[in-house]
Amino acid sequence: ARTILNPAPMREEFATKIKSARVDLLVLNEVELGQLVPSFDGQAEQLAHLHQVFGLDQVVLTLGDKGCILSRRGSDPIHVAAF
C-alpha cells in the first residue's frame, strides 16, 4: 500500500507526523511548502530539505496555473505545465 498525504490545511503538528507516518508521496502547494520549510530560499532547496529531513522519496509541489513540480529523491525536479 502507498500513502499519499496532502497536508491541507497545514497544521503545526504535521511536521512531526510526516516523519513518523511513512508517507510515500507528499502533495502540497507553495504556501504549505513555506510553512514546512520556512528558512530556505528557493523551491529547489526547500524540496531537497523535505527529502533529506522528512525521508520523503517523492514530492509534488502544486503551482496553480503554472502546473506542478515532481521532485524525486536523487533526481532533478520535473516541471509539468498546467493544461
E strands within the chain?
4-5, 25-29, 58-62, 68-72, 78-80
pLDDT in tens, 7-52: 888 888 888 888 777 888 999 999 999 998 888 888 999 999 999 9
Residue 34 CB contacts under 8 Å (≥ 6 apart), including other chains: 46
- Please state whether the predicted TM-score (pTM) of the whole model is above 0.85: yes
What are 6's three cell numbers? 496532502
Q: Torsion-angle region of residue 73: left (phi > 0), alpha (psi -120 to 50) or beta? A: beta
What are 25's three cell numbers? 508521496
